[in-house]
Amino acid sequence: MLNVSSEAAGVGSGILLRAMEPLEGIEWMKQHRKTTRMLDLARGPGRLAAALRITPRLDAQDLCGTGPLWLGTPVRPVGRIGVSVRIGITKDAHRPLRFYERANPFVSGPKRLNS
């Protein structure tokens, strides 16, 4: 899975990236995922990690610097952002801490939480 620490060292806080919409490097991702179905390339934390070849070798990678993995800027306008409860947890499951682009078919999770 791809978790991003979002605080200073020693402070517990982070973000789980659950999915992405493939816009570039699609053939490369298809090879790593062994699928040609676009919706299956990176929808869900495990699929996302496999598509991007996320392994423990990337632990502690600075996503704001140069390297094999980095956070970029949008290449198209971002749609409306939705908010819902988190998925697959029991502690604080009622809290609205899941953010996603509404009406994007590449968003993972139950459809009832993605509208």
What is the chain's pLDDT, residue by residue, as a tens digit (115 residues)? 888 888 888 888 889 999 999 999 999 999 999 999 999 999 999 999 999 999 999 998 888 888 888 888 888 899 999 999 988 888 888 899 999 999 999 998 887 777 7
CA-nearest of 14, 15, 17 to 49 is 17
- Classify domain 2-113 by CATH number: 3.10.300.10
- For residue 7, the one-letter residue type is E
Instruction: Sketch the domain layout of the chain as residue ranges.
Output: 2-113
- Classify each residue of 36-48 as buried b or exposed e, where b means 16 or more C-beta atoms within 10 Å of its C-beta: eeeeebbbbbebb
Q: What are phi and psi of 28, to 5 degrees?
A: -60, -45
